Amino acid sequence: MATEPTTLQEAVLYFASPDNCREYIVPRRWPNGVTCPTCGSDRVKFQPAHNRWQCAVHHDRRQFTLKTGTIMEDSPLGLDKWMPAMWLVASNRNGISSWELHRALGVTQKTAWFLLHRVRLAMQDEKTGGKIGGGGGEVEIDETFIGGKARNMHTERKQRYQREGRNTGGKAIVMGMLERGKTVRTAVIPDRTKKTMQPVIRENVQKGAEIFADEHLESWKMPGEYYHNVVNHLECYVDGNVHTNGMENFWSLLKRGINGTYVSVEPYHLFRYVDEAAFRFNNRLPLSDADRFSYLVRKITGKRLTYAELTGKTEQGPNTEDVPF
């Protein structure tokens, strides 16, 4: 058995072998032994000539591969491209663009774009750990605006936002909740009203937690449910233990990826890029690149994203190209 990779170079060489791919993925996908993705039966037999398994129970889709029932299902790309691509996404602090990936893998930019969004689906947080801030934990809550600067907008677009009375300047709003020293939760929200923000906080933050926020807290605070601390950024950014510097750090990483790597992001897909940044933030050091990649491989099962869903073809949605806000 070959030694599992610890660097990108080792990963490219390791996953070039179908046998290595199988030895790496099987124990992470099926820790208790291979089972049929359709019926769950463990009465399966491996067919080495075709690199697939067949279920002994008679039903549709008896034969399956490592890709079946994962984000990779029905993809014509081999695991020798999928696995290094996942390694690159998991290990690059600022992300990797579809243009970079298409050059690295030798696939089209359109294929690389679709592949990246499917990997981001695997990165989404299922919130299996329950709510954050339990046991009186300290939670920072903040919002940020993602989008182009008003001075760079076309005059007609800028005037439209002024007529509509938008105080966001046409930008998207991302809300973040960070338990200090632990994990961050995020949500793309339509506005900063109490009606919008309070349900998101209740869904993610345990009642009784100590909340740290900026002056906008006055618009949504819940005194009977949480302990509130506020720092007025018009006066200072740190007041003893009261600050939102942890969330500001995450916003810096998120915007560095969006502005520096992706350059422009379609608002329709923004939540996917936010999920990607949150995954890397929540699985940061001391986890190594190999550990982070291993965890990502464990999350690929039971998730599916078709090209029609991604591009909004199943319902009214945007075109396939990412464009500036």
Q: List pLDDT tens digits, range 41-54.
A: 999 999 999 999 99
Question: Cα(9)–Cα(13) distance, rounded to whole angstroms?
Answer: 7
Q: Which CATH architecture has domain 138-265?
A: 2-Layer Sandwich (3.30)
Give pLDDT, residue 316: 43
Query: What is the pTM (predicted TM-score) of this model?
Result: 0.87
Could you tell me which of 68, 37, 69, 28 has the C-alpha nearest to residue 55?
Answer: 37
Give pLDDT, residue 159: 65
Q: List pLDDT tens digits, range 294-320.
A: 999 999 999 999 999 999 887 544 433
Q: List pLDDT tens digits, range 143-184.
A: 999 986 656 667 776 666 555 444 555 689 999 999 999 999
Q: What mean pLDDT is predicted for residues 228-245? A: 92
Question: Cα(77)–Cα(113) distance, rounded to whole angstroms?
Answer: 13
Give pLDDT, residue 255: 94
Give pLDDT, residue 148: 64
In the chain, where the domains are located: 1-33+67-124+282-325, 138-265
Give pLDDT, residue 313: 80
Check pLDDT > 90 for residue 2.
Answer: no
Q: List pLDDT tens digits, range 48-107.
A: 999 999 999 999 999 999 999 999 999 999 999 999 999 999 999 999 999 999 999 999
Could you tell me which of 315, 308, 320, 279 has the C-alpha nearest to residue 93?
Answer: 279
Confidence of residue 289 (pLDDT cuts 50, 70, 90): very high
Give pLDDT, residue 161: 55
Residue located via tokens 């039971």: 302
- Count Cβ atoms below 10 Å from residue 266 Cβ, excluding itself: 19
Confidence of residue 323 (pLDDT cuts 50, 70, 90): very low
Check pLDDT > 70 for residue 251.
Answer: yes
Question: Cα(273)–Cα(258) distance, rounded to whole angstroms?
Answer: 8
Give pLDDT, residue 245: 95
Please, are residues 300 and 72 in contact by the beta-carbon 8 Å criterion? yes
- Count Cβ atoms below 10 Å from residue 305 Cβ, excluding itself: 17
- Region of 230 (left: φ > 0; alpha: ψ -120 to 50; beta: rest) is beta
Residue located via tokens 């046991």: 135
Give pLDDT, residue 162: 57
Amino acid, single-letter form, for residue 193: T
Q: What mean pLDDT is predicted for residues 17-21? A: 96
